[in-house]
Structure 1
Amino acid sequence: MSRCVLITGATGAIGGALANEYARPGTQLILHGRNAGQLERVAANCRARGADVIPCCIDLGDVAQARQWALDMAACHELDLLVANAGMNIDIGPDGAGERWEDSEALFALNVRAVIALVDAFLPAMRRRGRGQVALISSLAGYFGLPVTPSYSASKAAVKAYGEALRGWLGPEGVRVNVVMPGYVESPMCNAMPGPKPFLWTPERAARTIRRGLENDRARITFPFPLNLGTWFLAALPAGLSVRLVRLFGYHG
């Protein structure tokens, strides 16, 4: 059975690994990325696996452009799965000076506003058909904000809440919505993040776990288990205690 899968951020570690997971004969992959050279390498690898690939190199941080691109794609392609994976991270800096407003603004445009724009563009067709799936890539940082990455944590909490709300709304209509909350996955973005990185996974392992979770329609796809449990407890504990704990664990400016 042929499928159409769109993955944003396909030039990143998780996005590229997901592209490989879904690359097979009978699958049309629409792959987005901002690095044209890397995007073509990912596309070539997926074509070698038998997939029909459409590479798209645009800046999703330009939300108006992102929305128009998504509307154009929705008009031409009947999407079975949308994976909203593209994102960025910033931090308060090694000296704790804080995040620049311009960087925070760009982060929320890409991590939150562009995600909503994509979903808004593809959702009407999925609802008309009574089927389709949307995977929103959040983070375990969405459970409790880390002092070193306040804007990133807030953006991933927003994506988590948005996805959970969509699932409750759209589930009865046959549209599946899943929130993916990874821990630390080997990548340049992960390496640049300050603080410890316990239970580090490879992108390939993360992609396999995400694909299986989506196939089983898990509401939340969280990994790795020890870190998932720990961050969940941070959200459940009194906030004052959780703040002290994350600083004790090494997440401070």
Structure 2
Amino acid sequence: GVTLHLSGRDAARLAGTAEACRARGATVRDSLLDVTDAGATRDWVEDAGRLDLVVANAGISGGTGGATEPADQVQRIFATNVTGVLNTALPAIAAMARQAPGPDGVRGRVAVVASIAAFVAAPGAPAYCASKAAVQRWAEALDATERARGIRLHAICPGYVRTPMTARNPFPMPFLMEAEQAARRSLDGIARGRTRVAYPLPLYLVARLAGALPPAWRNALFSRLPAKQALD
């Protein structure tokens, strides 16, 4: 009974997702799109009509390890994880500001998918951690002011989720979740009106503790771990 606007770069995976949603009763408008293309993303958002919830979920990772990140990898991560989020969220917020409030008094919601990695400056994944920290803090800060216009922002900060991206991790991932479980926890947090939706709690608490350590102590701690065990 809902209308979904879905985008992605992989035509086959996008089509499969769209068909699965249609089978469950949704109206789906799917578009092949790269969110790093600001103009195309803006047009896609503006053509959608009324938007009740926008999920800025596109994200990439260079993996984890002790080697210096190549410059082009750093640029790609920030282009997708930060600029891609802004390319999606900013036109959505502008469109929502012109909408009438819904039954709950909210004009629209924007959920930015960050990560528990946002809370730890892990030496093994500096660009990934920094990009996720940027969008997490941006969403949380903006929510405080956009509420006055009836628009809500939510920073979604999951731990490890079983996806093609994490499938490449050659190390045990504590509290690994299935994608459906993560989606349900994210939507539940949004429905409860939480600005920050972070889960699972044990991993979140560990990340906050590690993030509170002095940088020298934190770097020394990570240097004692096997090369591939930074948060991702």
TM, length-normalised to structure 1: 0.82
Amino acid at match of 2:173: K
> Unaligned regions of 5+ residues in structure 1, if any?
1-25
Q: Partners of 1:211 and 1:92 in 2: how far apart? A: 28
Alpha-carbon offset, residue 191 of structure 1:
2.3
Q: Does the residue aligned with 1:59 lie in a helix, a strand or coil?
A: coil
The structure-2 alpha-carbon separation of the partners of 1:251 and 1:178, relative to structure 1 and needing over 3 Å to count, comes to: farther
Alpha-carbon offset, residue 146 of structure 1:
1.5
Residue equivalent to 1:84: 56
Q: For structure 1, which segment, 192-201 or 168-177, has the greater mean C-alpha deviation from structure 2 after superposition?
A: 192-201
The alignment's C-alpha RMSD in Å is 1.9
Residue equivalent to 2:89: 119
Amino acid at match of 2:156: V
The structure-2 alpha-carbon separation of the partners of 1:87 and 1:153, relative to structure 1 and needing over 3 Å to count, comes to: same
Alpha-carbon offset, residue 235 of structure 1:
2.0
Q: Partners of 1:132 and 1:251 in 2: how far apart? A: 42
Q: For 1:207-226, what aligned pairs fall within 5 Å after superposition?
A: 207-226=183-202
> Unaligned regions of 5+ residues in structure 2, if any?
102-106
Conservation of the 8 A alpha-carbon contact between 2:58 and 2:84:
no
Identity %: 39
Residue equivalent to 1:101: 71
The structure-2 alpha-carbon separation of the partners of 1:70 and 1:61, relative to structure 1 and needing over 3 Å to count, comes to: same
Amino acid at match of 1:158: A
Alpha-carbon offset, residue 125 of structure 1:
2.4
Q: For 1:11-160, what aligned pairs fall within 5 Å after superposition?
A: 26-73=1-48, 77-91=49-63, 96-129=66-99, 130=101, 131-160=107-136
Q: Partners of 1:244 and 1:108 in 2: how far apart? A: 26
- The 4+ residue runs of structure 1 with deviation greater than 4 A are none
Amino acid at match of 2:78: F
Q: Tell me whether 1:199 sits opposite 2:199 in the alignment.
A: no
Alpha-carbon offset, residue 251 of structure 1:
5.3
Conservation of the 8 A alpha-carbon contact between 2:36 and 2:87:
no
Conservation of the 8 A alpha-carbon contact between 2:14 and 2:30:
yes
1:175-222 alpha-carbon deviations (Å, 9 max, x no partner): 111000011011121122465421111111111101110111111111
Q: What is the total number of aligned residue pairs between the two structures?
A: 223
Q: Partners of 2:223 and 2:67 in 1: how far apart? A: 17
TM, length-normalised to structure 2: 0.89
Q: Tell me whether 1:189 sits opposite 2:189 in the alignment.
A: no
Q: Partners of 1:207 and 1:226 in 2: how far apart? A: 18
Q: Partners of 2:193 and 2:223 in 1: how far apart? A: 35
1:226-249 alpha-carbon deviations (Å, 9 max, x no partner): 100000112222222222333334
Amino acid at match of 2:166: C
The structure-2 alpha-carbon separation of the partners of 1:210 and 1:71, relative to structure 1 and needing over 3 Å to count, comes to: same
Alpha-carbon offset, residue 252 of structure 1:
5.9
Residue equivalent to 2:104: none
